[in-house]
Structure 1
Amino acid sequence: MRTAEIRRRFLDHFVQRGHTEVASASLILDDPNLLFVNAGMVPFKPYFLGQQTPPYPRATSVQKCIRTGDIEEVGKTTRHGTFFQMNGNFSFGDYFKEGAITNAWELITGSPDAGGLGFDPARIWVTVYHDDDEASQLWQKIAGLPEQRIQRRGMADNFWSMGVPGPCGPCSEIYIDRGAEFGPDGGPVVDEDRFLEIWNLVFMQYERGDGTSKDDYPILGELPAKNIDTGMGLERVAYLLQGVDNLYEIDEIYPVLERAAELAGCQYGKNHTNDVHLRVISDHVRSSLMLIGDGVTPGNEGRGYVLRRLLRRAVRAMRLLGYEDPSLPELLPISRDLMKASYPELGTGFDRISQIAYAEEEAFRRTLSAGTTILDVAVEATKKAGGQQLSGGDAFKLHDTYGFPIDLTLEMASEQGLKVDEDGFRKLMTEQRERARADARAKKTGHADTSLFRAALDEHGETDWLAYSTLETDSKVLALINGTAAVPAAHAGEIVQVILDRTPFYAESGGQNADAGVIEFDGGSAEVLDVQRPLKGLVVHQIRVVDGELTLDADVRAKVDPEWRLGARQAHSGTHVVHAALRQVLGPTALQSGSYNRPGYLRLDFAWKGGLSQQERHDIEDVSNLAVRRDLPVTATYMPLPEARAAGAIALFGETYNPEKVRVVRIGPGQWSIELCGGTHVESSSQIGPLVVTGESSVGSSSRRVEAVTGIEAFHYLAKERDLVSQLTEILKTPRDTVADRISSMVTRLRDAEKELAKMRADAVLSSAGALAANAEDLSGVAYVGTEVPEGTGGGDVRKLAQEVRGRLAADHPGVVAVAGAAGDKASLVVAVTKAGVRSGLSAAELVRSALGGKGGGNADMAQGGGVPADQVRPVLDSLRKLVGEAGGKA
């Protein structure tokens, strides 16, 4: 049963039982605690936490997930993967244990002909929390499971929480017995390889307090409503139903692995080290595809760094298998074709996705060259000083500055006879991560320990927030907080959080960035870095004291930067205008699902399938600028939520609103633009200034993103575009209106010339096959051909030449063909052995590894490797010639 079919059956099963099908959220959610969505319940957290009222009593979804904690284990086990899909069904105060168990049992044991998954009931085991007699009895009643196949476990295994104070509850896990060949009998408490977990049913009924570990926290009481949260690993179910041994061999992953093996000239299942590399490649290529599809781009921190690491590990694994050419153009389209049945946006957005991925591979290929040079210098310095170990600082520099993976540093240093101070490297990495986490905690206060903020709110009441009416206030310092402690004063250079009795600063919310500005006081000043609302009614400023000493109870002057506020107002009002333009051009279903704006810049996410055409982008821009030119009035009024909805106001998904009083921002007459919004805005649309759409892209399943600049930033953007066109007209000596055609013509001619040159080079190389075979050298009874190819010859042509020459050698006589060449500053080697040679005991893989000092991969009849300096091509061939002669003498 194909993975997409299992996915569809799961959703249909629960839709037929009254659940609302909810599309997968993006892998990126606005949650300060999560880098990526890592579980199926994450998009539903606001409902479980009581922060929002769920719009449906039951829901089902297949959620895209990324877990990065086990990247190093990928490929080594049957279970670890970075990207996975979590099937889930959820009940918000509706059904509970009996309904969850019934629904699960009917699906997993139901006949495939009737939409079920068809698992044999005799192979199913379950675990329950140690004192959950109710769940145990329900499994016996509903499923007829004997007591010996219902095992009890403690809190660490069968009691679920989010790891922080909040909802929790016992759970029941469903396992499939894979058979005696996978391990000992005795159920999951004995062996979780033989007994594989596929589904976890969480009975969310309690509230937990703070604790120190997974099984050490107090239960504070029962929740107002009992909820159900389940998670079924789609890939695990797939490999069980497809009769394969691990997740890398299922239909959505294995074809990538298979193609990687073909490119590298090796065979999956023959060599453990090669198999690990192939699994890493297949997993990381798919994970990278999904991340880029949801809007992540490679970078040096956060989500971007995870993506960069995945892409580079995949590329490096191909190189370790001996494949030197760009590999992602061969592999990424295969993964796209496998996944687009479930996620069509991967097909429509592939031009953007592939451009990002291929550019990253090319950059990493250059990084390997630069990093190798830096490593060689460090190794030489270490040896000159008499050292035996490369310092942790050098390893960290290679990693942090050049993106050089530590495992690559370890391998290459070892080849030169040195160890690496791994402990020193790990210490520096930990310090860097802690700094990053501290920065993140300092900027955001969501889900943090808010006890100090709560104490200030209880003592002083709500902040008098005046952002709508003024840019300056005379205020008093009510509290100063440095990390986790209240302090009496803050000195120059310190970063602290300050609470004022009143403030003109806009606190970040609704997609609008916080205001910038200063707080002045007697004898000094402080720069405002960020403004947040950790608790309802309380505004907290993060500041850096520039000079002087800021003390508790000090009288201060809080001043918003007027230019910053003007740019922010232009961008936020511009967001509303673009939203209205989207609906006018695309239709009323193009509704905003998220936004972000800062001075001069805005981005808006909206529900839509497929990319926008160039004409649609132009139309959206035209409608927006016509609204600016018409100088439409912008007004903000307050009214009850039902009245606002009746007036046609748009409420954004994911936002919570006070039903008794909401702020309605209207632009223009009637319902042209009317939204619930708490942001700051211009007085009329002409104050937005010019609006330029700068980009449009995919950010997830059925979701697109429009980016634009406004005001002076739009002028600057257009000026750069104008200057670029002027430079091109000067270089090409052509009028402005023909620049695009001229460049297109030049690119076409260049590509045609490159193709012709490549063909000529390949023809020249392959034309020599006959002469090379005719002049084969006899080495102790083995026909041997060893040759170099011109620099720049593609890896595919090198392999073809080796195969062509081998095919011209006598079929009944042992023969070895070795073709070597240089690509940049590295050499590569391909070896092909005739069938008669293989029968006589010759192995291409062994010859390559021996000639290259252990590098390379493949099988007995064809293998390849590389990584040695380009000037070593001739010594490598000489070494191989000697090896063949020695092997021939023994055969």
Structure 2
Amino acid sequence: METAEIRRRWLRYFESKGHSVVPSAPLIYDDPNLLFVNAGMVPFKPYFLGQQTPPWERATSVQKCVRTGDIDEVGKTSRHGTFFQMNGNFSFGDYFKRGAIEMAWELLTTPQPDGGYGLDADRLWPTVFKDDDEAYALWRDVIGIPEARITRRDENDNYWHMGVAGPGGPSSEIFVDRGPEYGVEGGPAVDEDRYMEIWNLVFMQYELSAVRSKADFDVAGELPARNVDTGMGLERIASLLQGVDNLYEIDEVFPVLDRAAEMTGKKYGAHSGPDAAHSHPDDIHLRVVADHVRSSLMLIGDGVTPGNEGRGYVLRRMLRRAVRAMRLLGYADKALPELLPISMDRMKASYPELETDFARISQIAYAEEEAFRRTLESGTTILDTAVTKAKQTQASTGDQGPARLSGAQAFQLHDTYGFPIDLTLEMASEHGVEVDEPGFRRLMQEQRDRAKADAKSKKSVHGTTEVWKDLRGLGATDFLAYEALTTEANVRGLVQDGAIVEELETGAVGQVVLDRTTFYAESGGQVADEGLIRTSGGLLKVVDVQRPVKGLVVHTVEVAEGSIRNGAAVQAEVDSEWRLSACQAHSGTHVIHAALREVLGPSALQSGSYNKPGYLRLDFAWNQGLSAETRSEIEEVANRALRHDLPVSAAYMTLPEARDLGALALFGETYDEQVRVVEIGGSWSRELCGGTHVQHSSQVGALTLTGEASVGSGVRRVEAFVGLEALRYLAKERALVAEISQLVKAQPAELTDRIGDLLTRVKDAEREVAGLRQQQVLAQAGALANKATDVFGVRYIGHDAGELGGDDVRSLVLDLRSRLGDGTPSVVAVAATAKGRPVVVIGTNALAREWGVRAGDLVKIAASTLGGGGGGKPDLAQGGGTDASKVTEALQRVEHTVGETVTAGR
């Protein structure tokens, strides 16, 4: 049975039992504690925690999940994978233990021709919590399982909670006996390889007041409503029903592994010996490829783009691990164009949007592979050099421990060459070299701290989750931002320093919760409104507006005059100029998005945006820079749309209706069942959006693009000003052109030719200066050649040239070597300082090299003294460093080494 069919049967069965089918939430979920959705119940957490009222009594879903905590173990065992799908059925105060157990048993054991999974009832082993006599009796008396196959287990195995105070309760797990070939007899408590868990039924019936560990917690009492949360791993049940050993061999994963094996000339599982398929390096690499290609496909599909932080870094790491695994298998060409379409083809049966959006997905993935191939070419050479040097240093000191790369070297590889630390660790380990990872992490943290200190701190709403949960319990905020700018309202709550207070006095900064508001809360890339809240005795300036929990709008205020008390009647007033400019920017963002798609094609999809009054930026999927002509065309298309005064409208509909209509959704956003669709000119621009907008496109005013750049592999960013800010920007440009025209004494239309002529003259002058400087340098050569000293039969010149560029140093060395001739062994070493950093060039003639004196060896010694590195050929080599004060010492060490080499050779 194919995985997609297993999924369909699950949803069909529970829908027939009165469950509402809930679509999978995106992998990027609105939870500050999670990088990705990592369990099937995550989208339902607000209902289990009592933060929101569930819209159904019964629900079922097949949720996309990603877990990355043990990414390094992927491929090494049959259990570790990053992307997986979790089948779940949920009850919110409806059925409880009996219903959950009976439905699970029915679906598992109903014959396949009748719509079930057709598992052998005699091979199913349930477990229950040790004190859960009710569940035990249900399995024994209602289902009819013999007592010998029902196992009682303790809190570590059969009790569930979230790790914090809140709901919890016993669980009942269902295991399948896979047979004696997988292990010993005795049930799940004896061998969980032979007895594989496929389904976990969690019975939330208690309120936990304190949680100290998995098995140590306090039970405060019964929950007011008992809930059920179950989870069955789709890949796990698929492996059973398809008769394969593990998740890598099911129909959604194995085709990628099989193609990778074919491309690399490997045969999966061909190696003899116990557990060979689990441990042989070739099989591990093939599993990494299969897992990471599928996971990357799903992450990009849900809006993640490669980056250096957070979710983007996880995606980048998986893509790069897959590419490198292929290289380790002997395949050096581009791999993803062969593998990603296969994964899409297997996953599209369950997620058809992957095929629709594959142009964007593949563009991002292929661009990341190409960037990584370039990184590998440069970084691998640098890493190999560092590894070799580390081994030489270790050998020279006689240290018996492993060679070691410093944290600074690892940080340089990461920061300068884009070489990720995990790759440095892996590759160094393959060479038997350790890496000072704590030192690297310390340098990374110092860099982050500097970045945070330089960045403007983002305003945020302070307060604990409990505070906002309590205030939300008083009712949802009536959100009027789409209809009005002012409204009468009443204060429902005041918060200061994270705690509820009764009053905010003059000069205080705190949060105000109103029963209704016209202020737009920051979301969807649009900044929050600014304005005033007036009371009978006070005036408050609104500086930020957020939604800390769904349905609750919170205003951060500065009390300018008087005070405000809880329960007071107020007037909420949005700054009308601020709102108009914000509307112009947000509508302008939609216009730019539509213009991009018209000019570049439908794959140029938005992946993120930010807009504030007068300014917007938009990130979109594209893997190459835009020419000046293309930018001009995009700007013209956008401004034509503004001139045509296209109508702007918003309508509410269900998410499926919006998709059928062709509305574009921002990847990574989580949407309710009812969504707001904003249209500009009908189908020309149709997007899901909760922002504020103008009523006609002409109200955006002027729009001018100000910049375009890369913000990651396969992602570009455009920036623009709108309205008055666009006019001010153009006025500054005009003033700048006028100033330059005056400086170069030319009309604006003549500027290109005049500046081009000036640049040509400057370059000619620079070449002339360089020639004169080189003549001056070479003029010294005769005197220097006469000062050559004898070092055990080798004529040696060691010279500090002072401030001099690297090219000039090289020319001087070549000239001096020529002057010394070929009749006697000769070595020339010249060091200089260029822009504060030392550079050294060393040349040797043929006789010196016959005596064993090589420029490449000497320059490494000099460069290491200068705090750097270098290399080259035996006849000519160049290096550099960071410590210019040690130039003299470096030249002395070169001379000393020449003497040692010559005497050792004799």
The TM-score, its normalising length taken from structure 2, stands at 0.58
Question: Who is 1:569 aligned against?
Answer: 583
Cα offset, 1:564, TM superposition: 6.1
Q: Deviations over 1:438-457 (max 9, x none)?
A: 999987669x7346789999
Question: Who is 2:20 aligned against?
Answer: 20
Comparing 423-432 and 286-295, the one that deviates more? 423-432
SS state at 2:206 partner: strand
> Which of 526, 529, 554 is residue 513 of structure 1 equivalent to?
526
Question: Who is 1:688 aligned against?
Answer: 700
Question: Who is 1:313 aligned against?
Answer: 321
Could you tell me how far apart the structure 2 residues matched to 1:456 and 1:96 are?
30
Alignment of 1:426-445 (within 5 A): none
Question: Who is 1:404 aligned against?
Answer: 419
Question: Who is 2:121 aligned against?
Answer: 121
- 8 Å Cα contact 1:499/1:540 also seen in 2: yes
Comparing 325-334 and 12-21, the one that deviates more? 12-21
- 8 Å Cα contact 2:647/2:695 also seen in 1: no
For the pair 1:392 / 2:407, whether they are aligned, the reply is: yes
Comparing 135-144 and 53-62, the one that deviates more? 53-62
Alignment of 1:298-377 (within 5 A): 298-376=306-384
Cα offset, 1:109, TM superposition: 1.1
Could you tell me how far apart the structure 1 residues matched to 2:699 and 2:11 are?
49
Could you tell me how far apart the structure 1 residues matched to 2:40 and 2:209 are?
23
Q: Structure 1 residues 452, 82: CA separation in 2 closer, same or farther (over 3 Å shift)?
A: same
RMSD, aligned CA: 5.9
- 8 Å Cα contact 1:632/1:686 also seen in 2: no
- 8 Å Cα contact 1:571/1:597 also seen in 2: no
Q: Structure 1 residues 371, 221: CA separation in 2 closer, same or farther (over 3 Å shift)?
A: same
Cα offset, 1:278, TM superposition: 0.6
Q: Structure 1 residues 255, 577: CA separation in 2 closer, same or farther (over 3 Å shift)?
A: closer
Query: What 5-or-longer segments of structure 2 have no aligned partner?
Result: 398-402, 488-493, 533-540, 565-571, 596-606, 621-633, 652-668, 706-717, 731-870, 874-906
Q: Structure 1 residues 665, 150: CA separation in 2 closer, same or farther (over 3 Å shift)?
A: closer
Cα offset, 1:317, TM superposition: 0.6
Question: Who is 2:91 aligned against?
Answer: 91
SS state at 2:289 partner: helix
Cα offset, 1:131, TM superposition: 1.4
Question: Who is 2:611 aligned against?
Answer: 598
Could you tell me how far apart the structure 1 residues matched to 2:328 and 2:200 are?
38
Q: What amino acid maps onto 1:27 in structure 2?
A: L
SS state at 2:223 partner: strand
SS state at 2:211 partner: coil
Q: Deviations over 1:295-320 (max 9, x none)?
A: 21111112211111110000011111
Q: What amino acid maps onto 1:352 in structure 2?
A: R
Alignment of 1:777-856 (within 5 A): none
Alignment of 1:609-620 (within 5 A): none
Cα offset, 1:90, TM superposition: 1.7
SS state at 2:134 partner: helix
Could you tell me how far apart the structure 1 residues matched to 2:719 and 2:49 are?
35
Question: Who is 1:759 aligned against?
Answer: none
Could you tell me how far apart the structure 2 residues matched to 1:262 and 1:23 are?
36
Question: Who is 2:171 aligned against?
Answer: 171
Question: Who is 2:300 aligned against?
Answer: 292
Question: Who is 2:54 aligned against?
Answer: 54
Q: Structure 1 residues 444, 60: CA separation in 2 closer, same or farther (over 3 Å shift)?
A: farther
SS state at 2:91 partner: strand
For the pair 1:532 / 2:546, whether they are aligned, the reply is: yes
Q: What amino acid maps onto 1:515 in structure 2?
A: A
- 8 Å Cα contact 2:497/2:510 also seen in 1: yes
- 8 Å Cα contact 2:509/2:557 also seen in 1: yes
Q: What amino acid maps onto 1:404 in structure 2?
A: F
Q: Deviations over 1:558-616 (max 9, x none)?
A: 999988654422345679999999xxxxxxxxxxxx997633559999xxxxxxxxxxx
Comparing 412-421 and 431-440, the one that deviates more? 431-440
Could you tell me how far apart the structure 2 residues matched to 1:580 and 1:92 are?
42
Q: Structure 1 residues 481, 559: CA separation in 2 closer, same or farther (over 3 Å shift)?
A: farther
Q: Structure 1 residues 708, 397: CA separation in 2 closer, same or farther (over 3 Å shift)?
A: closer
Q: Deviations over 1:660-702 (max 9, x none)?
A: xxxx99999xxxx999999656587643347999xxxxxxxxx
Question: Who is 1:104 aligned against?
Answer: 104
SS state at 2:39 partner: coil
Q: What amino acid maps onto 1:79 in structure 2?
A: R
Identity over the aligned pairs, expressed in percent? Answer: 58
- 8 Å Cα contact 1:168/1:206 also seen in 2: yes
Q: What amino acid maps onto 2:109 in structure 1?
A: T
Could you tell me how far apart the structure 2 residues matched to 1:108 and 1:176 are?
11
Q: What amino acid maps onto 2:317 in structure 1?
A: R
- 8 Å Cα contact 1:534/1:540 also seen in 2: no
Number of aligned residue pairs: give it: 638
Q: Structure 1 residues 2, 122: CA separation in 2 closer, same or farther (over 3 Å shift)?
A: same
- 8 Å Cα contact 1:109/1:119 also seen in 2: yes
User: Could you say which structure has the greater relative contact order, defined with CA pairs below 8 angstroms and 6 or more residues apart?
Assistant: 1
Question: Who is 2:256 aligned against?
Answer: 256
Could you tell me how far apart the structure 1 residues matched to 2:411 and 2:266 are?
33
Q: Structure 1 residues 679, 62: CA separation in 2 closer, same or farther (over 3 Å shift)?
A: closer
For the pair 1:41 / 2:37, whether they are aligned, the reply is: no
- 8 Å Cα contact 1:480/1:552 also seen in 2: no
Could you tell me how far apart the structure 1 residues matched to 2:432 and 2:406 are?
14
Could you tell me how far apart the structure 1 residues matched to 2:872 and 2:141 are?
71
Alignment of 1:477-488 (within 5 A): 481=497
Q: What amino acid maps onto 1:449 in structure 2?
A: T
Q: What amino acid maps onto 2:15 in structure 1?
A: V
- 8 Å Cα contact 1:510/1:677 also seen in 2: no
Could you tell me how far apart the structure 1 residues matched to 2:12 and 2:19 are?
9
Cα offset, 1:359, TM superposition: 0.9
Alignment of 1:632-711 (within 5 A): 686-689=698-701, 711=722
Question: Who is 1:629 aligned against?
Answer: 645
Q: Structure 1 residues 380, 318: CA separation in 2 closer, same or farther (over 3 Å shift)?
A: closer
Question: Who is 1:763 aligned against?
Answer: none
Could you tell me how far apart the structure 2 residues matched to 1:463 and 1:18 are?
32
- 8 Å Cα contact 1:340/1:347 also seen in 2: yes
Question: Who is 2:190 aligned against?
Answer: 190
Could you tell me how far apart the structure 2 residues matched to 1:169 and 1:437 are?
42
Q: What amino acid maps onto 1:398 in structure 2?
A: L
Q: Structure 1 residues 604, 656: CA separation in 2 closer, same or farther (over 3 Å shift)?
A: farther
Alignment of 1:715-794 (within 5 A): none
Could you tell me how far apart the structure 2 residues matched to 1:421 and 1:144 are?
59
- 8 Å Cα contact 1:457/1:538 also seen in 2: no
SS state at 1:185 partner: coil
Cα offset, 1:108, TM superposition: 0.8
Q: What amino acid maps onto 2:303 in structure 1?
A: G
Q: Structure 1 residues 7, 675: CA separation in 2 closer, same or farther (over 3 Å shift)?
A: closer
- 8 Å Cα contact 2:679/2:687 also seen in 1: no
Cα offset, 1:370, TM superposition: 2.3
Could you tell me how far apart the structure 2 residues matched to 1:122 and 1:436 are?
61
Question: Who is 2:434 aligned against?
Answer: 419
Q: Structure 1 residues 284, 434: CA separation in 2 closer, same or farther (over 3 Å shift)?
A: farther
Could you tell me how far apart the structure 2 residues matched to 1:22 and 1:456 are?
28
Alignment of 1:443-522 (within 5 A): 449-450=464-465, 481=497, 498-499=510-511, 506=519, 508-509=521-522, 511=524, 513-515=526-528
Q: What amino acid maps onto 2:201 in structure 1?
A: L
Could you tell me how far apart the structure 1 residues matched to 2:469 and 2:2 are?
52
Q: Deviations over 1:691-746 (max 9, x none)?
A: 999xxxxxxxxxxxxx9989459979x99xxxxxxxxxxxxxxxxxxxxxxxxxxx
